[in-house]
Structure 1
Amino acid sequence: MFGKQMPSVARAKDDAEKPFWISFADLMTAMMILFLVVMVAALSSVTQRISQSEQGEKQRSRDISQLCEHLQLKAKHSNATIVVDCKDNRISFGEAGRFGHNQYSLSDEGQSALQGVVPLILDAADSEEGRKWFKQVVIEGFTDTVGSYLYNLHLSLQRSEWVMCSLLDSRSPLQIGLSAERQQQIRSMFLAGGVSFNNAKDTNEASRRVELRMQFYGLKEKEENLKPEVPVFASTVSEKCQLAMTR
């Protein structure tokens, strides 16, 4: 009787721990599901923003192309010397836009071409597409490769400034028929910039030229914060421009 062993009661260790492990597994599953939901929402938001950005960029490109093509057509009917390049957004004047050797004033033909194209540019800026995207016009003067870089840089700047002064000087033929509002629009939109002999042409004669480079706002730019400032020399037209125009 004493040697008979009583059956031991096994401890239900596993049974006692099961509820804990089940709860932990459920918690991990819930956290994983929540993580997946957040990731899907984030990826969906990013994809939507990218899609909207692509659509906006395509619409911007269409608007700018339409604006430039209308300007190209009007310029063609206005003056045969005016060439509007919608690929590079540049306006050139052929032989009419060329300068003599070491000279920085345009001929009468060049001034006539400018007089014809400036109102067209202002009209383009006032169009529906222009009000959204048209930023500014940079007047670029070019030189040939003869001479030092610094000399040609100064000469190219003189050429672009001379054209700018022609647009601003009240005595210039370019001012004829322009209202005060249009004159102010020129001051705010047109900028002078010298570029020396970069982008030289096949001949020295063709390299000595002036071109107008149209710039447009990017998709994320805000016009109210990025309006081009009035050029420094525009405020001293009576001094600097008079000197430039009389040389």
Structure 2
Amino acid sequence: MINKYRRTVNKEFEKSSFWPTFTDMISTVLMVVMLMLFSSESITGSVEKDLAKNIDVSVNQTLKESGLPFIIDQNTGQVTFGEKTMFDVDSSILKPEAKEMLKILIPKYVESIYKDYGDNISKIVIKGHTDDVGSYLYNLDLSQRRAFSVAEFIVGNEIGDYKYKDKVLKNIEAIGRSEAELIKSSEGSINRDSSRRVEMKYEINVNK
């Protein structure tokens, strides 16, 4: 009778002890996954900071001295061109001075990105933006055409050959954002002049 009772107790103990063990295992797996994700994000952030630093050192100062009208974000490496620099009102045709600027900028910018981290570059994204004047769809079309004009010039014949051009050709994308990402002042009002712009930014993938 005692032995039968012990066997029953032991079976119940084995059943009850399974779930804490299973729960501990799931918790461990989740912790490992979270650590892997955190590690990947940390590596990505580190690579992005290094890229931005490279751009700032090898491109920004040189081109600032040339007086070319664009902005480079020192934290992300994003380049921003204002509408007046690139296009006439309601036009998606690049101005002659915009083409000359891109001929100087693009080779330096591209080399600073690809020379150390070429294997980690997944995309070069050109985004066109408008203000909130006019219909959303009209602005969407205009912003898309402007982004495409810049992208087409960057990989076209008119700009000539430059280092890593073949990689840019495979990675480049053109996107129109219409008025979806308006720039606002600190008071919350829309800055229409600043909102009408074209941005160029790389995307990275540390697992490539």
Look up the SS of the partner of 1:63 in the other structure: helix
Normalized against structure 1, the TM-score is what? 0.67
- Larger relative contact order (Cα-Cα within 8 Å, sequence gap ≥ 6): 2
CA change 1:36–1:145 in 2 (3 A) is closer
What is the root-mean-square deviation in Å for CA atoms of aligned residues?
Answer: 2.8
**Size of the alignment, in residue pairs?**
198
Give the Cα–Cα distance (whole angstroms) in 2 for the partners of residues 51 and 200 of structure 1. 36
1:155 shift after superposition = 1.8
Q: Which residue of 2 aligns with 1:244?
A: none
Query: Which of residues 181, 187, 194 in structure 2 aligns to 1:199?
Result: 181
Q: Is structure 2 residue 170 aligned with structure 1 residue 161? A: no
1:41 to 22, 25, 29: 25
Distance 1:34 1:105, change over 3 A: same
Taking a change above 3 Å as real, the CA distance of residues 192 and 48 of structure 1, as seen in their structure-2 partners, is closer
Identify the residue that residue 190 of structure 1 maps to in structure 2: 172
Secondary structure of the structure 2 residue equivalent to 1:152: helix
Separation in structure 1 between the aligned mates of residue 127 and residue 53 of structure 2, nearest angstrom: 22
Runs of 5+ consecutive residues of structure 2 not aligned to the other structure: 184-189
Report whether the alignment pairs 1:135 with 2:119: no
Q: Which runs of 5+ in 1 are unaligned?
A: 1-16, 224-247
The whole-number CA distance in structure 1 between the counterparts of 2:169 and 2:124 is 10
> How many percent identity over aligned positions?
19
Q: Assess if the C-alpha contact under 8 Å between 1:96 and 1:113 holds in 2.
A: no
Q: CA deviation at 1:188?
A: 1.0
Give how far 1:209 is off: 2.5
Deviations 1:127-155 (A, max 9, x none): 444423x2212212223333333222222
The higher radius of gyration belongs to 1
Structure 2 counterpart of 1:105, one-letter code: I
SS, match of residue 210 in structure 1:
strand
Residue in structure 2 matched with residue 105 of structure 1 by the alignment: 93
- The residue number in structure 1 matching 2:106 is 118
